[in-house]
Structure 1
Amino acid sequence: MANNSSLASRAVLIYDEWIKAADPRVGDWLLMSSPVPHTMIIASYIYFVTTLGPRIMENRKPFDLKKPMIVYNLSIVGLSLYLIYEFLMSGWANGYSYQCDLVDYSNSPLAIRMARACWLYYFSKFIEMLDTIFFVLRKKNSQVSFLHVYHHSIMPFTWWFGVKFAAGGLGTFHALLNSIVHVIMYSYYALAALGPAYQKYLWWKKYMTTIQLIQFVMVTAHIGQFFLMKDCPYQFPIFLYVIGLYGLIFLVLFLNFYYHAYTKGKRLPKVQAQNGSGPHKKQQ
C-alpha cells in the first residue's frame, strides 16, 4: 500500500509539473481543465459502440435514420466549411509561411481566434462519434472496424493535448486539410443518404480514397520539413512527431485499402455509401 501511495504521489507531482507548461488561455474552456472528462467520454464511446450498443440492438429492428443522417451530414459539411474559414483567417491565409510557423501564445485577436478554431476542431471530433453510433443503431456492425473506432477515439484524445499546449502554428495544418476533406466526404454521405435516386451523382466515390491519400502525403511532407530545418524553435516538437507518425500510419493503411479495393479489382460494399467509411472514412 505504501508503494502504491508513493507512486500515486509521484504521478501527481509529475502531472502538476507537466501541466505548468499548458496554455493559460484555454484553461477554463469546455473540457479543457483536465484530461479526465474527455477520456471518460472516449472510453464510454468505445464501450457503447463495441459492446453495449450491439447488445441493446441484438433483438431489435434497425432504426430508420435517413432524415437524421441527412441533417447530420449536411451539418458536418457546414461546420467543416466554417473551420476552413477560421483556420485560414487566423493563420494559414493570414501570415503563416507553411514552413516554421510557431504557436502564438499572446492574447492578440488573431492568436485567440486560432486557439478557438483549434478548440472547435477538437470538439467536432466528439460530434463525429455519431458516425459510429449510427452504424450501431442501424445494425451495420460490420462497419465498426478497428480502424474506424481507433480513428474516432485517438483524434479527440490527442487533440486535447494539442489545444492544451499548442493551439496554433504548423501543427494545425493537418486540421485545415482534414476539414477540406470532410466537406467532400460528408457531402457524399449526404447525397448517399437521400436514397437510390441519387446514386447517379455518386460516380466519384472511388476518388475519395485518392483524396485521402493525397491528404496524408501532404501532411507528412509538411511535417517532414521540420526535421530538415536547421533552426525551427517550435515549442512542442513532440506533437510534430505524433502528427508525422499518424500521417504515415494512415498512409500505409489507406494504401493497403486502395490496393485491395481497386488495384485487385475488388469493389467496395454498397453499405459504405451512407456514412459507410471503412477505411475511406476520414482520417485526421
Structure 2
Amino acid sequence: MDQIINYVDWEHLYKHSIKNSNWNELFDIQNFKFTFGVTPFSQFQIIPVVVAFYLFTIFSIKGLMKNREAFSLKWVTALHNAILCLWSLLMCVGVVYEVLKRVTTDGGLFTICEVAPGFNQGPAYYWSYIFYISKFYELFDTVIIVLKKKDLIFLHVYHHCIVVWLCWYLLYTGWSLQLWVVFLNTFVHIFMYYFYLNSALGRQVWWKKYITQIQILQFCCLGVIGVLHFICLHLFSCVTDYSAYISAYSINFSFLFLFTRFYNRSYTPSSKPGTKGSPNISTRTTSPKSKKLD
C-alpha cells in the first residue's frame, strides 16, 4: 500500500481530477456532455488508483479475516442491495425513456447505427455516465463478501475491475452501442440485487437459478447486436470507434465464457452416486449460495 501511496501524485490528482471537475454535470441531464478532464471522474488516472486501492483493500481484509469470525452485516447488506436494486431500476427506466424519445424522431435504427458523432452527450448518454458512476459504488459488493467470509472467486474480482475501465472507455471514445450495455446490464441488475436483498433478509426466491441464465443471455444479446452493428457499418454511413468495439466484445466474450463455466459448475448435476440434482460443487467451497456475481 505504501508503494501505491508514494507512486501517486496526490496533489496533481486533486487539482486535475477533483478540484477542476464540473460537479454540476452530475445533475444536468439535458445538457450533459462527457468531457475528458472536466466531467467528474472522467480523468483516466482515477481508474488505476481506484482499482489498485480496491484490490489492496479486499485482499487485506481477506487476510485480516482469516482467523476471525465472519461479520453478519445483515442490515448493511440489505441496504446496500436495496440501493443498487433501485439505482438499477432508475438507470434502466431513464435510458429506455430517453431512447424511446429519440426513436420517435430519429427512428429505431440509431440504436444500432449512429450516423453522426456525439455519442457522449445528451440525455440518453447521461444515463450511461450515471451507469459508469454506479460501478464505483458496486465495488462495495466485494468488501461485504470478504467481511462475511464468503467465497471470493476470480470472476467476481475480474468483473468489477474491468467494468469500471470499460464504462469509462465507452464514454471516452463515444461508442454508440454503450446504450445497449446500460439497458441490458441494469435490467439484469434489478432482479439480481432484488434477489440479494431478499437473501440478506433470509427470504427465499424461487428464480435464483435463472439469474445467471439471464446474465448469460445478456452477453449473447450484446453479441447479436454487435454483429448487426458490424453489418450496418457496411450498409449505411454509421460511425463507430473500432478500439471500443474490439475492447467491448473481447470483454463481452470473456464474460460469456466465465459466466457459462460458473453456471455449469454450479448447477450441472454431479455424476457421482447420491448427488444427482445437486450442484456439481461438493468437493469445492464454491456454493452458488455464497457467490455474488454481476
- For residues 67 and 103 of structure 1, do their structure 2 counterparts lie closer, same or farther at Cα, with a shift above 3 Å needed? farther
- State the distance in 2 between where 1:41 and 1:241 align: 24
- For residues 232 and 173 of structure 1, do their structure 2 counterparts lie closer, same or farther at Cα, with a shift above 3 Å needed? farther
Identity of aligned residues (%): 27
Instruction: Give, in angstroms, the shift of residue 270 of structure 1.
Output: 9.0
TM-score (norm 2): 0.75
- Please give the secondary structure, in 1, of the residue aligned with 2:177: helix
What are the Cα deviations for residues 63-117 of structure 1, in whole angstroms up to 9, with x where unaligned?
221001111111101100110122112225632423213575299xxx4222321
- State the distance in 2 between where 1:249 and 1:56 align: 31
- For residues 114 and 227 of structure 1, do their structure 2 counterparts lie closer, same or farther at Cα, with a shift above 3 Å needed? same
Structure 2 gaps of 5+ residues are: 1-32, 271-277
- For residues 146 and 68 of structure 1, do their structure 2 counterparts lie closer, same or farther at Cα, with a shift above 3 Å needed? same
TM-score (norm 1): 0.78
- State the distance in 1 between where 2:166 and 2:40 align: 16
Instruction: Give, in angstroms, the shift of residue 188 of structure 1.
Output: 0.4
Count of aligned pairs: 244
Determine the structure 2 residue equivalent to 1:221: 224
Please report the RMSD computed on the Cα atoms of aligned residues, expressed in angstroms: 2.4
Tell me if structure 1 keeps the 8 A contact 2:139–2:160: yes
Determine the structure 2 residue equivalent to 1:173: 180
Structure 1 segment 82-161 matched on structure 2, within 5 A? 82-91=90-99, 94-95=102-103, 96-97=108-109, 98-101=111-114, 105=118, 111-140=121-150, 143-161=151-169
- For residues 176 and 93 of structure 1, do their structure 2 counterparts lie closer, same or farther at Cα, with a shift above 3 Å needed? farther
Determine the structure 1 residue equivalent to 2:196: 189
Letter in 1 for 2:246: Y
Structure 1 segment 231-246 matched on structure 2, within 5 A? 231-246=236-251
Instruction: Give, in angstroms, the shift of residue 26 of structure 1.
Output: 5.3
Tell me if structure 2 keeps the 8 A contact 1:99–1:222: yes
Tell me if structure 2 keeps the 8 A contact 1:223–1:243: no
- State the distance in 2 between where 1:144 and 1:210 align: 20
Tell me if structure 2 keeps the 8 A contact 1:102–1:170: no
Structure 1 gaps of 5+ residues are: 1-22
Letter in 1 for 2:211: M
